[in-house]
Amino acid sequence: MPALAVPGTFCSPRIYARLAAALPDELDAVDWMTAPGPWRIEDIAARVADRIDQHGRPVTLIGHSTGGCIAAVVAAARPDLVSALLLANTGAHMRGHGDVDRILATIASAWGPDLHAAVLDRSFATPLPPDLRAELLDYAARVPAEAALEVLRSQRDLDLTPRLASIRCPVTVLHGIHDRARTLADAQHLVDHLPNSELVTVETGHSPIWEDVPATVAALERLR
Q: What is the CATH number of the domain that holds 40?
A: 3.40.50.1820
Q: Phi first, then psi: what are they for 55, rounded to 5°?
A: -75, -20
Alpha helices in the chain (DSSP H): 17-22, 41-55, 66-77, 100-110, 113-121, 130-141, 145-156, 161-164, 184-193, 208-211, 213-221
Alpha-helix runs per DSSP H in 23-129: 41-55, 66-77, 100-110, 113-121
Q: Would you write out the chain's pLDDT as a tens digit for each of its 224 residues?
A: 689 999 999 999 999 999 999 998 889 999 999 999 999 999 999 999 999 999 999 999 999 999 999 999 999 999 999 999 999 999 999 886 657 888 888 898 889 999 999 999 999 999 999 999 999 999 999 999 999 999 999 999 999 999 999 999 999 999 999 998 899 999 999 999 999 999 999 999 999 999 999 999 999 999 98
Q: For residues 73 and 141, give the distance between their C-alpha atoms in angstroms, rounded to a whole number.
A: 27
- Residue 144: give the domain boundaries: 3-221
Distance CA 92, CA 194 (A): 10
Residue type, 78: R
Per DSSP, 99 falls in state: T
Distance, in Å, from the CA atom of 198 to the CA atom of 218, rounded to the nearest integer, reads 13
Dihedral over alpha carbons 80, 84, 89, 93 (to 10 degrees): 30
What single letter denotes the amino acid at residue 164?
L
Helix axes 66-77, 145-156, angle to 10 degrees: 60
Number of domains making up the chain? 1
The CB density around residue 36, as the number of other CB atoms within 10 Å, is 9
Q: How many residues does the chain have?
A: 224
pTM value?
Answer: 0.95
